[in-house]
Amino acid sequence: MRTVAAIVSALILPVTACAAGPAGDSVSLPEHLDPSGLATLFESRISTRLFESAPLDAPAVSTVLWAGCGLLDDGRMTVPSAGAIYPLELYLVSGGVEGLEPGIYSYDSRGGSLSMIASGDARAALSTACLGQPWVASAPASVVICARPGRTTARYGDRGISFVWMEAGHSSQNIYLMCAALGLGTVAVGAFDDSLVSSVIGLDEGVVPLYVMPFGHPASGAGM
C-alpha cells in the first residue's frame, strides 16, 4: 500500500512543475488539451472578409443562428446570461441563402424559426450603415446581434450594461466557432452607425445593435 507521503507527493509534483518563481519570471505551461476537437476549432477560427458568391444552405444558417443564441434540450440557451435574463435578439440580413427570400428576419431563439421583417436584399444598406465595409455587402448573409439592455438593467442597474456586452461577446464567439466547424467564415464588425443599423433592421425602441457578423464560404486568402 502506498504511504500517505507518497500519495501527497504524487499530487503535488504536477502542480509544482507549473509553480511560479520570483516576480517577473515566466512559467512554462503544459501543452493544452484538445477535448472533442475544441482546440482545433480555436486554431481554425479566423476573421474572414472575402467571401465566395456561392449561396449558403438553410441548415448551415439555422445552425449558425442557433449557436449565437439558441435553445438547448434542457431549456438553457447556448450562451450564458446574467440572471438568465437573455436580453439578446438576433436578426438575419439575407441575400444569398438557398430557399430563403432575400430580406430581413428576426430569429425566434426558442422556436428556432425566422419571421420576415422586410423583404428585399438589404445587404448594401447594411454595408453603408457599417461605414461602407464591403464584406457586409458581399457576404451571403449577416447576423446582427442586438439586445434589449433594459431587461438586464431593470435587475442590475448600470452594471447590467456590462453584462449585456459580455453576453454579446459570448454569442459572437459561438458564431465564430460554429462557422469554423461548418467550414464557413465570418468576422465581427463593431464599426457602424448605431442609428443607421437600427433603421435598416427596423429595430424597436429599446433595442440596440451590438455586432454585425457577415458570414459565408471563405474565398481564397480570406483569413486575416
CATH at 154: 3.40.109.10
148 domain-assigned: yes
Q: How far apart are CA 209 and CA 145, in angstroms?
A: 6
Query: Could you tell me which residue, 22 or 5, shows the higher pLDDT?
Result: 22
pLDDT at 21: 53
Residue 222 confidence (pLDDT): 58
- Which domain does 151 fall in, by range? 50-216
Domain count, the chain: 1
Does 112 map to a domain?
yes
> Does a structural domain hold residue 173?
yes
Is the per-residue pLDDT at 13 higher than 60? no
> Which pLDDT score is estimated for 35?
73
Q: How confident is the model at residue 223 (pLDDT cuts 50, 70, 90)?
A: low
pTM above 0.75, yes or no: yes
Residue 214 near residue 134 (C-beta atoms within 8 A): no
Residue 197 in any domain: the answer is: yes
Average pLDDT over residues 77-82: 96
pLDDT in tens, 143-162: 999 999 999 999 999 999 99
- 34-60 pLDDT, tens digit each: 677 888 888 889 899 999 999 999 999
pLDDT in tens, 181-202: 999 999 999 999 999 999 999 9
Q: Which residues fall within 8 angstroms of residue 144, CB to CB, at 6 or more apart?
A: 90, 91, 92, 93, 126, 197, 201, 209, 211, 212, 213
36 located within any domain: no
The C-alpha cell that represents 203 in the structure block? 429595430
> Is 6's pLDDT higher than 70?
no
Residue 40 is assigned to a structural domain of this protein: no
Residue 103 lies in a domain: yes
Q: Is residue 64 part of a domain?
A: yes
